[in-house]
Amino acid sequence: MMNKIQLEVKGMTCPSCEDQVRLILQKVGAKHIHVDHLKGKAEFQLLDGNKEKSIRKELQKTPYQPGKWIRISSDGVKGSLDKAYDYDFLIIGSGGAAFSAAIQASENGLRVAMVEKGEVGGTCVNIGCVPSKTLLQAGHIQSQSANQPFRGLKTSANQPDMSELQKQKDQLVRQLRKEKYEDLIQDYALDFFKGEGFFLDQHTISVNGKDLTSKSFLIATGASPFIPDIPGLKETSFLTSTSALELKKVPNHLVIIGSGYIALELGQMYRHLGADVTLMQRSSRFLKQYDPEISEAVENVLKEEGIRLLKGVQYQKIEEKKGHKFVHIEVDGKTKVIQGDHLLVASGRKPNTENLHGEMIGLKLGDNGEVITNDYLQTNLPHIYAAGDVTLGPPFVYVAAHQGGVAGHNVSKQTKKAQSLEHVPAVTFTTPSIASIGLTEHQAKEAGYDVKTSVLPLQSVPRALVNHQSQGVFKLIMNATNKQLIGAQVVAENAGDIIYAATLAVKFNLTANDIQETMAPYLTMAEGLKLASLTFDKDVSKLSCCAG
């Protein structure tokens, strides 16, 4: 049985004081803690058993002295900050943003509920990061087995058993969904409602005919594949990023509309597993969000692997005949028909806001249906927050988790915290991977910087040479005025791991000299960062191994 306690705490003057008092209460097993330094009190719940003496003793060791101890209730019901509502914080969605917010708010003493219409865990664990990356690794191993670069090794690869790969992938998804999401519902005493939630008014949503009221809300409904308006597409059976991860057989020819990170990852994955692959994009420039050296390096890799890339495509119509897809296009003024047994549509994502009934409460959306927020993640209705892909921010689960944590803090604390998206690393998990942080050369010049760049081909990185895999490039962008690093782009094995060091360099205003004067372990790909920084001033081909 839980007992709700209200304790007077003297001496608190700021939010930091609240954190110290909260930590003491957590150590003795208190739950649903809410500390308010302005009111000089703490509210929390304890299991049966008197721990008053322990709490008082611990507080007396600090500047915060305990006062009156009031037992509010012992009926097992969570305490309330506002009795007018069923909950203090109600979250629509159950992905990375949702759980980050729920944990933060629950630890701060709020009564939290979560609503989810699909599988708990959202996109990343169920249909995104986890399943795609495990199958990408399978494809990489298959490709390496068939095409490894060492002359003295005799390796080969049999036809992959997609059914077994799918079973192993699904087992991993179930395991992580349970451990990282489902189990946390009970651990943090969250109320969970299965069903699709939509607003009835600014403080009420409906879920399966049940009305739930809350003082504050978080919209964390994520995003879904965007389906372009191409004649005949809706009448054709096509794959999305979700269904493409469920195939029980490798396609003969996978045709892909789009060439963004999802198209690249899934396209290369199936190429590694044995499919012919054609990528098509409307833009005349491949990977236009990167500098030309990066897009050129990746395009060369794709071509060498036999992936066909069509740029400047205009889609005329799509047909399906006897299970085969026929994509009618125009390229360079010429009409072509691309035929494949599978068609993947990977042309972006759209926010899941259509069924929220946001128009009923005056919720402001952007041109693409995204929920518009301020830096505190508040919508135009200040008690309603939004986080994650539904805001069309950077499409990464770590960004969603960061935003969720900010929203959870802001809904439960007096002082507001702003989201920080100035230094967001990006990774595409191709082989080699693509990673970036900060400004591109073009963006830096547009922003008015005096720009100096360094471009280091992977052939100049010893790790790549010993691997016999030297396709790739490092590019650094420097503010020539003060030599501070303001951007980095990498195409290399483990680029996603390398980019974290570059992220720290950009965030903390490190200079090229700082990187040059820091030892890098030899025969690691991360050494490429140091070599690229040396390239600002030297020809690294004239240096000995490990020389700086």
Give the residue numbers marked as catalytic: 12, 14, 17, 64, 124, 129, 545-546
- What is the rounded distance in angstroms from the CA atom of residue 120 to the CA atom of residue 126? 8
User: What kind and span of H or E run contains 325?
Assistant: strand 324-331
User: To the nearest 10°, the Cα dihedral for 432, 434, 440, 441?
Assistant: 0
In order of 238, 242, 428, the CA distances from 227 in angstroms are: 10, 13, 22
Report residue 401 as tokens. Answer: 């988790």
HEC sequence for 349-406:
EEECCCCCCHHHCCCCECCCCCECCCCCCECCCCCEEECHHHHCCCCCHHHHHHHHHH
CA angle 53, 56, 57 (to 5 degrees): 85
Give every CB contact of residue 547 below 8 A, 6+ residues apart in sequence. none
d(CA 220, CA 465): 45
Both tokens of 488, joined, read 């980095």
Residue 306: count other Cβ atoms within 10 Å of its Cβ: 9
Evaluate whether 247 touches 419 at the Cβ level (below 8 Å): no
Residues 16, 19, 22: CA angle, nearest 5 degrees: 155
Sequence-distant (≥ 6) Cβ neighbours of residue 534 within 8 angstroms? 516, 540, 543, 548
Tell me the residue type at 136. L
Which SS3 state, helix, strand or coil, does residue 433 take? strand
Residue type, 173: V
Contact 316, 328 (CB under 8 A): yes
